[in-house]
Amino acid sequence: MSELAPPNKTPPKQTGVSGTFQTPPKTQKHTELPPGELEPPEVRDKRRQRLLKCLGDNIWHNYPFDKFVKSLGVKEQYRQFMKDWPDLFLDIARGSPVVKSKKVTGITKAKDEYVDIFRDSEDVLKGLKSEALLVRYLRELIFGMKAAVGVANGRILAGRTPIPDWRLITTDHQSEVIRGTPHKPDIAFYHKYKTQDIDAVHAILEAKIDVCPDEAPEDTRGQLADYGHLLNDKQATRTFAPVFYLHGHILTLHAYYRDKLYIVELGQLCFNTDSWAPEIAGLIQECLMQFWFLLTLKSDIFGHFCDVSKKYSSFIFSQNDNVESKGKGNSKIEVLYSVSMDDEDVMDGEDVIDVMDDEDGTALFCFEKTIARYSYMIGCHVHLLSGTYKNHAAVLKLSWTPVNRLPEGAAYAILNKRPVEGIPKIFSSGLLISNLNGYRLEFVLMEYCGQPMAEYLKVKTDDQKDELVPGFVKQLTLCLAQANVTGVLHRDISAGNVCVKNGKVYVIDWGCAKVIGWGTAEDAARDTGPTQPSHIDVAEQWGFNATTVGQVEVAKDPFTGTPPFMGIPMLSSSPIRGILDDLESILYVVMDAVRPAGTNRDDVQGFKFLDYPSLAITRWGLIQEDAVLLEEFGVKNINPRLKELICVMRRFLFEPENKVMNHRLWWDKKFVRRANWDAAPEFMHPKAVELLREDNGQLTRPAEDEINAGPFKKLAL
């Protein structure tokens, strides 16, 4: 795969949730619709309004076509195409119809020879009105272009490069949804998969006839954004989502990237005047050439990071050394390509065995299904895929994140410098794209870590919970304490990120983690030996500046986490964050997991989320007494042993001197919390107490507090 040069090197403007995926709102829960089922208009309209709001001003209008193809790495290929075939589609262009005043009519005044697709397809087009007529003309136009290419390639002259063939299926969806979605675009371009569903869609085209074609109305812009988000959200291999928009006689490409929307004008596809002119026909021909060129590019160039022309069932990751690793850890991983289901030479041959048994860093992941997605119109984007690796249940995480944020794979590399219990085993990790418009694409291939703790406990009896939960809490505290000493703070302890497999607790999703005190003397002290990489070496291997990333992550401290499980200071946007805030999140995870069956989280006062400040103040009121805490978090009827565990954790977190913290906990952003270490041995792992008590659970962070008032803080707003 050729490396993509970013169309815009300006750092992306952050909107909405600041480009983070730490706090996905309820509207991000995806429900699959059966084929043919349409959603209520109010649901659709609300989603489109949200997408437009998220998109905001992150739009580059009239982005030059030459600059766009350069960003794809095919500028010279395009120039050669135009040079070799100067007359391609010219006859079709001369016979293009007229689109004006909400009408489509055949051309009546064309000079010389021309191909009148409108006239030649009269039987097919008869009886259609306005937009339906324009959409049907487009389908006939593509058929005519394919025929012209076939003729041209059949009599190719010496020295010319063949015209790339059309490899897509063009389908009209004006009256039928794309399978598995509620969407009905005018045209979808499909790869030749056995099943035409959303996974097979390569690009989408929407056509509108408007009396004022200069700017699309808001409802149309929301519709186009909806299609762009659909492709980026449903297809894990996306680098951008291409949506073509024919607005009257003008054709544009809307390319939805992680940083913004690029609107590339291809030009006139039809005449807009009854006065035929050869120069207008030339403009139409250029538009047809550009349209054909883009849609015949290979998928790993146009819209994907790997070849998806055939339906993939596996990913092969091949490791290339291009970093001075000096024998210290993994090198950068750059190459990803898909393996086709139908490619028997690969899937059934010795190649797969060689890959699976290879020890040079190459890894084969056999894909089964998508298990989760976290996506925004602009900003971070995550796909979690389940499957197998060397006969082990595995999860592949593909993440688009800003280049000034900490890669999750780098966090795991640092965690693995010392023994940290309860983190996933990492089979392979690295970068697929190092910088595309200010975002990187990384992958982490890891072991499957079981069910969320709450789901695991659902089928357990009360007595079993009494036996299991205290041990789970000890494992959790040990994991976070060891990570803290290694120099990594998780920052997103939540119900979905605490899992259980075979009786062992795992803390997963370190994608919101930060490195504590990056580049300081304390960092150097955490290195355990000359054979292990320092934190800075890890940054070099992953291709980012440790100081910049460290500063940005500190600036993100007050805004990172999942709201129902965030600590009181974090809900109050405190810039001071440490291990005690993660331990407070454990308390909420435990209470959520042991709630009696039949109770919903949203019905429990302690978990009701209206906004961050309100929840912070509410929780401060609930921590004043054990009985109030148990009542308002819905756990007053659990067994006495678990009640005592929760009460001990409350005393540890909120009664540092056997007295409940006052309102400064949620009001004073400079308040540094302390803990009641006399209560710690009653619920924490002994080793965790030993590791954390020395610095009272709050590692010294030289110079980091000042950063919160510095220039990087605005990145978090």
pLDDT in tens, 526-538: 554 555 556 778 8
In this model, does residue 282 exceed pLDDT 60?
yes
The correct CATH number of 312-716 out of 1.10.730.10, 3.40.190.10, 3.30.465.10, 1.10.510.10 is 1.10.510.10
Question: Where exactly are the structural domains of the chain?
Answer: 59-295, 312-716
Per-residue model confidence as pLDDT tens digits over 621-664: 999 999 999 999 999 999 999 999 999 999 999 999 889 999 99
Q: Between vectors from CA 169 to CA 60 and to CA 369, what angle results, nearest 5°? A: 80
In this model, does residue 322 exceed pLDDT 90?
no
Lowest mean pLDDT among 435-444, 475-484, 487-496, 687-696: 687-696
Query: Is 382 strand, coil or helix?
Result: strand
Burial 374-405 (b: 16+ CB within 10 A, else e): bbbbbbbbbbbbbbebeeeebbbbbbbbbbbb
User: Distance (Å, rounded) from C-alpha 231 to C-alpha 239?
Assistant: 10
* Residue with the two structure tokens 């059966």: 34
Predicted confidence at residue 306, as pLDDT, reads: 87
Q: State the maximum Cα–Cα separation within the chain, in Å, rounded to a whole number.
A: 95
Among 603, 607, 623, residue whose Cα is nearest residue 615: 607
Predicted confidence at residue 708, as pLDDT, reads: 41
In this model, does residue 491 exceed pLDDT 90?
yes
Range among 18-32, 97-111, 332-346, 688-702 with highest mean pLDDT value = 97-111
- Count the neighbouring beta carbons within 10 Å of the beta carbon of residue 321: 13
Q: Which two tokens stand for residue 468?
A: 């299991």
Predicted confidence at residue 663, as pLDDT, reads: 92
Please state, in angstroms and as integers, the Cα–Cα distance from residue 696 to each residue in 473, 678, 690, following that order.
19, 12, 10
What residues pair up with 268 in beta bridges, in sequence order? 250
Q: Between vectors from CA 306 to CA 511 and to CA 18, what angle results, nearest 5°? A: 30
User: Distance (Å, rounded) from C-alpha 244 to C-alpha 203?
Assistant: 8
Among 417, 319, 309, 409, residue whose Cα is nearest residue 364: 319
Calculate Rg over the CA atoms of the chain. 29
- The more confident residue out of 371 and 20 is 371
* pLDDT-based confidence at residue 443 (cuts at 50, 70, 90): very high
Average pLDDT over residues 431-437: 89
Question: Any residues with CB less than 8 A from the CB of 26 and at least 6 apart, and which?
Answer: none
Q: What crossing angle do the helices spanning 41-55 and 218-234 adopt, rounded to 10°?
A: 90
**Type of residue found at 457:** L
Average pLDDT over residues 249-269: 95
Residue 457 contacts residue 465 (beta carbons within 8 Å): yes
In this model, does residue 580 exceed pLDDT 90?
yes
User: Distance (Å, rounded) from C-alpha 178 to C-alpha 194?
Assistant: 15
- The more confident residue out of 527 and 389 is 389
Among 428, 319, 447, 306, residue whose Cα is nearest residue 387: 447
List Cβ<8 Å contacts ≥24 apart for 112-121. Answer: 115/91, 115/144, 115/148, 117/92, 117/141, 117/144, 119/95, 120/144
Residue 171 contacts residue 187 (beta carbons within 8 Å): yes
Predicted confidence at residue 123, as pLDDT, reads: 66
Residue 307 contacts residue 337 (beta carbons within 8 Å): yes
User: Distance (Å, rounded) from C-alpha 617 to C-alpha 105?
Assistant: 66
Q: Between vectors from CA 655 to CA 651 and to CA 659, what angle results, nearest 5°? A: 125
Lowest mean pLDDT among 61-65, 362-366, 595-599: 362-366
State how far Cα 198 lies from the chain centre: 17
Per-residue model confidence as pLDDT tens digits over 509-523: 999 999 987 645 455
Predicted confidence at residue 340, as pLDDT, reads: 34
- Cα distance between the two ends of the chain: 35
**Type of residue found at 580:** L
User: Distance (Å, rounded) from C-alpha 527 to C-alpha 438?
Assistant: 31
Query: Is 23 strand, coil or helix?
Result: coil
The string of DSSP codes covering 687-704 is HHHHHHHTTTT----TTH
Predicted confidence at residue 245, as pLDDT, reads: 96
CA atoms within 13 A on the CB side of 185: 30
User: Distance (Å, rounded) from C-alpha 356 to C-alpha 365?
Assistant: 9
User: Distance (Å, rounded) from C-alpha 245 to C-alpha 260?
Assistant: 17
State how far Cα 695 lies from the chain centre: 37
Q: Which two tokens stand for residue 5?
A: 């040069």
**Type of residue found at 97:** P
User: Distance (Å, rounded) from C-alpha 352 to C-alpha 154?
Assistant: 39
Helix (H) or strand (E) holding 450, with range, is none
The string of DSSP codes covering 426-443 is EEEEEEEEEEETTEEEEE
Average pLDDT over residues 442-448: 94
* Mean confidence (pLDDT) of the chain: 83
Residue 239 contacts residue 200 (beta carbons within 8 Å): no
Average pLDDT over residues 360-368: 76
Predicted confidence at residue 599, as pLDDT, reads: 85
Question: Any residues with CB less than 8 A from the CB of 416 and at least 6 apart, and which?
Answer: 426
DSSP 331: -
Per-residue model confidence as pLDDT tens digits over 406-424: 999 999 999 998 899 999 9
State how far Cα 89 lies from the chain centre: 39
Alpha carbon dihedral 218, 219, 220, 225, in 10-degree steps, equals 90
Q: Which two tokens stand for residue 567?
A: 């600590």
Q: What percent of the chain has pLDDT over 90?
A: 61
In this model, does residue 693 exceed pLDDT 90?
no
Q: Between vectors from CA 102 to CA 99 and to CA 105, what angle results, nearest 5°? A: 40
- The more confident residue out of 647 and 354 is 647
Predicted confidence at residue 318, as pLDDT, reads: 65
Which strands, in side-by-side order, build the sheet including 504-507?
A: 451-452, 498-501, 504-507
Instruction: Say if pTM beats, i.e. exceeds, 0.75.
Output: yes
* Residue with the two structure tokens 């960003």: 71
- Count the neighbouring beta carbons within 10 Å of the beta carbon of residue 360: 7
* Residue with the two structure tokens 């302690």: 606
User: Distance (Å, rounded) from C-alpha 468 to C-alpha 460?
Assistant: 9
What residues pair up with 256 in beta bridges, in sequence order? 241, 261
Among 430, 449, 448, residue whose Cα is nearest residue 440: 430
Predicted confidence at residue 345, as pLDDT, reads: 38
CB-based burial label for 528 (10 Å; 0-12, 13-18, 19+):
exposed
Among 475, 465, 371, 382, residue whose Cα is nearest residue 423: 475
* pLDDT-based confidence at residue 5 (cuts at 50, 70, 90): very low
Average pLDDT over residues 333-361: 38
Query: Is 487 strand, coil or helix?
Result: coil
Predicted confidence at residue 278, as pLDDT, reads: 82
The string of DSSP codes covering 53-95 is HHHTT-EEEEE-HHHHHHHTT-HHHHHHHHHH-TTTTHHHHHT
Among 164, 189, 169, residue whose Cα is nearest residue 289: 164
In this model, does residue 335 exceed pLDDT 80?
no
Per-residue model confidence as pLDDT tens digits over 152-198: 998 887 778 899 999 999 999 999 999 989 999 999 999 999 899 99
Lowest mean pLDDT among 94-103, 403-412, 503-512, 596-605: 94-103
The 3-state secondary structure of 164-191 reads: CCCCCEEEECCCCCCCCCCCCCCEEEEC
Predicted confidence at residue 11, as pLDDT, reads: 32
Average pLDDT over residues 358-366: 66
